[in-house]
Amino acid sequence: MTTRAATTSTLFSWKRLLPPLLVSAVVVGVIVVVIVAGHHDIIESFSAFGRGSFGSAYAFWSATLVRATPLTLLGLAVALAFRSGVMNIGAEGQFLAGASAATAVVLTGVGGGMVLVIALPAAVLAGALWAAIAGWLKREFGVLEVISSLMLNFVAQYLVSYLVRGPLQEPTHVYPQTETFGPAAQLPLLISGQRLHLGYAIAVLLALILWWMFRATAVGFRLRAVGAGAAAAASAGQVMVPRVLFTAFLLSGAIAGLAGGVEVTGVTYALYEGISPGFGYTAIAVALLARLNPLAIIGTGIFFGALEAGAAAMQRDAGVPFQFVAVVEALVVLGVIALDWTRERGATRR
């Protein structure tokens, strides 16, 4: 028995290494082909990618992690929803709602030096309320949340566009943006000389909290039960499933709203139209690649942050166009899906 186990495990490592290598080779191969076809320097492109993502302390702390912050928070929002059986793909809209609310609070000037203590909870509340629309539509009318939350993303986008030209516009009423926040409304930086702000610490802390919540608390267990088997939870556990689903919507929206609040108070210091390049959609990939595990989302958040930071460096230093970067991101995601598949197949074959 032991000998057999030993031989299989040695065979195994080969078998286990081969598919990832193949998939990586294919992804890298396609990328190389496209770079060459576009007459860009391959070595320069790849080294720019490395420099821009992990190549220096600045690249890591100020580029990769700053980008990872909203992706991590939104990834957690998506993961919480998905694990609870709620297909909330409206994190984008909830993010915008949170960003708008935080901005509105900051601009009223309440709270003085403690304005963040009001602004961030306002963002949380706004995100939860925006999600509650989809949650309410599901509970009352059985509307598929995939669709309603997607629709609400577009509504939120136009709402922000209106706000920055209307009620929240900067005082001269010229530019479609708000006034820049004062220092009291700016999240403290974590490392001097770097742009990394408190928001990332909040994200990591929240990941730990969610991990603990799902693992150890009754609320987390209830959410998990409804996500894994709503009928069993209702029958065996006498769980009020509609109420739990609604709660999941609220919590997910709250986290996404927080992400919006963190982005305006930690990075942009003002509300703009187009403040999100689709963070909410990328976050779906962040969450799913982490298999909805909050701790793993810290990792996938960094991965996607690095991908975007590295890709920006490829644009800057190697002249590889923006559109190509989208191709690279798509290929990497597809590559990871393929890897996942080889791993799953390996698992069932055993």
Go through the chain and tell me how many residues it has: 350
Q: What whole-number distance in Å separates Cα of residue 267 and Cα of residue 285?
A: 23
The answer to the question of residue 307 lying near another protein (CB under 8 A) is no
Give me the 91-130 binding string for another protein, x by CB under 8 A, dash otherwise: ----------------------------------------
Distances (CA, A) of 324 to 30, 320, 321, 329: 12, 7, 5, 9
Among residues 28 and 34, whose Cβ is nearest to another protein? 34
- Angle, helices 294-318 vs 42-53, to 10°: value is 130
Among residues 89 and 256, whose Cβ is nearest to another protein? 89
The answer to the question of residue 229 lying near another protein (CB under 8 A) is yes
The answer to the question of residue 263 lying near another protein (CB under 8 A) is yes
**Burial environment of residue 310 by CB neighbours within 10 A (0 to 12, 13 to 18, 19 or more):** buried
Give me the 175-194 binding string for another protein, x by CB under 8 A, dash otherwise: xxx--x--------------
- Cα of first residue to Cα of last residue in the chain, in angstroms, is 16
Position among 28, 87, 189, 209 found at the interface with another protein (CB under 8 A): 87
The answer to the question of residue 14 lying near another protein (CB under 8 A) is no
Q: What whole-number distance in Å separates Cα of residue 329 and Cα of residue 311?
A: 9
Q: Work out how close the CB of 3 gets to another protein at its nearest, in angstroms, rounded to a whole number.
A: 18
Among residues 114 and 166, whose Cβ is nearest to another protein? 166
Position among 161, 189, 209, 242 found at the interface with another protein (CB under 8 A): 161
Position among 25, 32, 36, 316 found at the interface with another protein (CB under 8 A): 316
Cβ atoms of residues 280 and 91 within 8 Å: yes
